[in-house]
Amino acid sequence: MTRPFLLGLTGSIGMGKSTTAAMFAAEGVPVWDADSVVHRLYSAGQPAAQAIAGRFPQVMAPDGGVDRSRLRALVAADPAALDWLNATVHPLTAADRAAFIAAHRTAPLLLLDIPLLFETGADALCDATLVVSVPPEVQRARVLARGVSSADFEMILARQMPDTEKRRRATYVIETLTEEGARAAVRALLKDLRSDHA
């Protein structure tokens, strides 16, 4: 039985990962977005929100969902909380991903948009991996322009695998300095993948 070709997409904060994922979607590729799944799991009544409420009630919003700013503050103050959070949320996101792949089993290609692709070992599920990248000074300028503080940026970077290591491990690398260049690179990659795995 044939199955979809699984392309794992990742990139550090500010590298253009979400924009690149949207380009694949615009080309007709079904995209599984780990971040949006976590957002959903953190909403009221969802299993992750219920588990977090039992362990860290102080980070809950009045509507029963997780207050992400309170959760970030908790993780910054208590690194062990992040380990518990990952152990709790990771199996839920993995189940959602498996359901997505099963639901799209007749598609020739699926994009799995996973910020911590290499860090969590999810690259082992993929047939190929794609890293989006820009020079460090461009990355920093993009992130700070979003209103993220320098301290928060450094904390996020410290938790992510360095860009140089991601690029070394990747099957493909796309530079996202310009939207036009990134879109052209996405289309070229899709053309190659579709001809190789038709």
Q: Tally helices (H) and strands (E) across the chain.
A: 9, 5
Q: Residue 8: which of 159, 120, 157 has the closest Cα? A: 120
Average pLDDT in the chain: 94
Last residue of a domain, one of 53, 71, 103: 103
46 and 84, same domain (yes or no)? yes
116 and 177, same domain (yes or no)? yes
121 and 137, same domain (yes or no)? yes
**DSSP SS3 for 76:** helix
Last residue of a domain, one of 77, 103, 129: 103
24 vs 157, higher pLDDT: 24
24 and 113, same domain (yes or no)? yes
pLDDT band at 195 (very low <50, low <70, confident <90, very high): confident
Q: How many domains does the chain have?
A: 2
Q: Residue 112: which of 15, 28, 35, 2 has the closest Cα? A: 35
Q: What does the pLDDT average to over 187-194?
A: 95
Geometric angle at alpha carbon 28, from 23 and 31, rounded to 5°:
70
Residue 1 reports pLDDT greater than 70: no
For residue 198, the model assigns a pLDDT of: 56
The CATH number of residue 21's host domain is 3.40.50.300
93 and 168, same domain (yes or no)? no
120 and 89, same domain (yes or no)? no
Q: Which domain holds residue 58?
A: 35-103
pLDDT tens-place string over residues 18-56: 999 999 999 999 999 999 999 999 999 999 999 999 999
Last residue of a domain, one of 103, 135, 161: 103
177 and 123, same domain (yes or no)? yes
151 and 62, same domain (yes or no)? no
9 and 44, same domain (yes or no)? no
